[in-house]
Amino acid sequence: MDILIVDDEKSIRLTTSIALEAEGHYVETAEDGTLALKRIKEENFDLVFLDLRLGDEDGLEILQKIVAMKPQQLVTIFTAHASISTAVKATQLGAFDYLEKPFTPDQLRAILIKAQKARKTQAEVVQLKETVQELKSEVRHASPPLRFVSEDPKTRVEFDVLFRAAATSASILILGESGTGKSVIAREIHDRSHLRDKPFVTVSCPSLSKELLESVLFGHMKGSFTGAIKDTWGKVHAADGGTLFLDEIGELPMEIQPKLLRLLQEREYERLGENKVRQADVRVIAATNRDLKASIRSGEFREDLYYRLNVISVTVPPLRERPADLAKFAKDYLDFFSGQLGRKIDGFSDSGRSALMRHPWPGNLRELRNAIERSTILARGNHVEAEDLPQPTPLAASNSADAEPGGLGIGGEHSLDEIEQAHLMKVLGWAPSLHDAAAVLGIDKATLYRKRKRFGIH
Ligand SMILES: Nc1ncnc2c1ncn2[C@@H]1O[C@H](COP(=O)(O)OP(=O)(O)OP(=O)(O)O)[C@@H](O)[C@H]1O
């Protein structure tokens, strides 16, 4: 290691240097704070030994200057027995450790081993941060660009409110149909906030049973329910100091709602099966495609929780109400996917463009993205044609007189079940995933699962 010894006593500088050099370290010495600060600024020392009594100089002040200049700098304080309390204060100010004078070679060696470990951990953290940055940039390049500017005045107002609120700690509720980009917006709010370097943790409310969801949120103690084989921390703990994103909050079971309310109001929670109140400071962003006011009326959602979540609330308009944005998103996606495929596709033909505008896009951006990806594969020439884009759904088609032969016509002699089953089968037939199918149908995945089971659709 490269080590700097800062002490005004020549004998200490000399003996410590000899001991350290004998262990193979590179050592420099400084007899006062000014020289020490100059060398620390110029060089990267792995460890600094700093005497707190440096003649007229205040060692604690020098320590603070070092920490301010290089927060990662490991500084071990030399201290006399009588000044242990000062040494403790020094560690509170950012010193790594302290060594009481006079010290033995073994005590010095113990400090060096500890410092080496700390340096290794620091290097690992730096490397992990770099890896995360690289991965983030790879992910960004592996998906179409995100667009947060809008040509639509209503959407512009909503985005403006959202991104102005990003810098505060206010809870934010994002409403909007499935696929309008609520999760993407939640992440963007976090990235534009003062918490951007802190954790961003997502909890998808409907994906789990009530008990598991509670455990995922708050953690549990071993034996608190069947299958709880060890103590765990929940996502609230993981998000402490950062943002907790509660996706599909409208599905949050009634039993868990008071616990979330307590977290929002008191910043307190308890792990399942534990009788100890814990603190967590999280900024909550919630999203739902449900009408929460209707859920309050039907007794499925607590009004007090709604008002806590709703400090700032915006509704992201559906894509069909933003035709100018629709065209821009479609072009972005087309450029991205054609680039990925190495195909030269210049844009949409007239028929392609009007098909794009005619389609109601019930699955919003998610559906549009999938449709454009598919169209770049299907396009025969250098333009996307109407035939490459989603065709009218069976229900829309059957609205007209020329329903498919043997198909179901709206208003014909069919039960609602028959119509529902036929529609489900058609959508499941073309949607790329169950998630997309649920989005297009405007239901959550659990409901889709129940319906498939009911109609025997595999
Ligand atoms: N701002 C955006 N710019 C470009 N593409 C976007 C944007 N927002 C969303 N998308 C696309 O739409 C997809 C769906 O977005 P997201 O999952 O955020 O929607 P959602 O409203 O949370 O849906 P759900 O309610 O079903 O969870 C994203 O994976 C992305 O491909």
If you measure from the C-alpha of residue 270 to the centroid of ligand 1, how many angstroms do you get, rounded to a whole number? 33
Number of domains the chain is built from? 4
Question: Where is pLDDT greater, at 139 or 171?
Answer: 171
Give the single-character DSSP code of 381. S
Task: Characterize the bridge pairing of strands 97-101 and 219-220.
Answer: unpaired
Taking a C-beta distance cutoff of 8 angstroms, is the pair 434, 445 a contact? yes
If you measure from the C-alpha of residue 185 to the centroid of ligand 1, how many angstroms do you get, rounded to a whole number? 8
Looking at 287, 317, 347, the residue that finishes a domain is 317
Task: Characterize the bridge pairing of strands 2-6 and 47-51.
Answer: parallel
Whether residue 170 has pLDDT greater than 50? yes
Cα three-residue angle 281-273-302, rounded to 5 degrees: 55
What pLDDT score was predicted for residue 226? 78
Q: What is the CA radius of gyration of the chain?
A: 31
If you measure from the C-alpha of residue 319 to the centroid of ligand 1, how many angstroms do you get, rounded to a whole number? 11
Location of structure tokens 């088609």 = 397
Question: What is each CA distance from 46 to 123, 241, 333, in whole angstroms?
Answer: 11, 30, 49
Looking at 317, 351, 382, the residue that finishes a domain is 317
Report the 10 Å Cβ neighbour count for 205: 22
Helix or strand holding residue 28 (H, E): strand 26-30
Which residue from 170, 172, 162, 171 is spatially nearest to 192, judged by alpha carbons?
162
What pLDDT score was predicted for residue 450? 83
For ligand 1, atom 31, which residue shows the shortest CA distance?
366
Is any ligand 1 atom within 6 A of the Cβ of residue 330?
no
Taking a C-beta distance cutoff of 8 angstroms, is the pair 159, 148 a contact? yes
ipTM value, please give it.
Answer: 0.98
Q: The whole model's pTM is what?
A: 0.66
Under the banding of pLDDT at 50, 70 and 90, the label for residue 396 is very low
Same domain, 311 and 329: no
Preceding peptide of 323 cis, ω within 30°: no
The region of weakest confidence among 73-82, 112-121, 179-188 is 73-82
Is any ligand 1 atom within 6 A of the Cβ of residue 183?
yes
Tens of pLDDT, residue by residue over 314-336, are: 999 999 999 999 999 999 999 99
Which residue from 386, 385, 402 is spatially nearest to 394, judged by alpha carbons?
402
Same domain, 368 and 438: no
Same domain, 91 and 236: no
Same domain, 157 and 90: no
If you measure from the C-alpha of residue 178 to the centroid of ligand 1, how many angstroms do you get, rounded to a whole number? 8
Under the banding of pLDDT at 50, 70 and 90, the label for residue 409 is low
Portion of the chain with pLDDT greater than 90, in percent: 64
Same domain, 74 and 199: no
**Cβ neighbourhood burial of 406 (10 Å; 0-12, 13-18, 19+):** exposed
Same domain, 310 and 380: no
Whether residue 134 has pLDDT greater than 90? no
Tens of pLDDT, residue by residue over 363-390, are: 999 999 999 999 999 999 999 999 999 8
Residue 425 lies in a domain: yes
Whether residue 162 has pLDDT greater than 60? yes
Same domain, 199 and 287: yes
Same domain, 107 and 162: no
Which residue from 378, 381, 379, 423 is spatially nearest to 399, judged by alpha carbons?
423
Is any ligand 1 atom within 6 A of the Cβ of residue 180?
yes
Portion of the chain with pLDDT greater than 70, in percent: 93
Same domain, 205 and 69: no
Q: Which amino acid is at 370?
A: N
Residue 98 lies in a domain: yes
Looking at 317, 344, 372, the residue that finishes a domain is 317
Under the banding of pLDDT at 50, 70 and 90, the label for residue 435 is confident
Quote the CA–CA distance of 86 and 94 in Å, as a whole number.
Answer: 13
Quote the CA–CA distance of 449 and 439 in Å, as a whole number.
Answer: 13
For ligand 1, atom 29, which residue shows the shortest CA distance?
366
Residue 101 lies in a domain: yes
Question: What is each CA distance from 85 to 92, 93, 123, 342, in whole angstroms?
Answer: 11, 13, 31, 68
Give residues with Cβ within 8 angstroms of 309, minimum separation 6.
Answer: 171, 173, 249, 264, 284, 286
Residue 134 lies in a domain: no
Location of structure tokens 């700390």 = 118
Domain boundaries, position 356: 319-391
Same domain, 443 and 331: no
If you measure from the C-alpha of residue 158 to the centroid of ligand 1, how many angstroms do you get, rounded to a whole number? 16
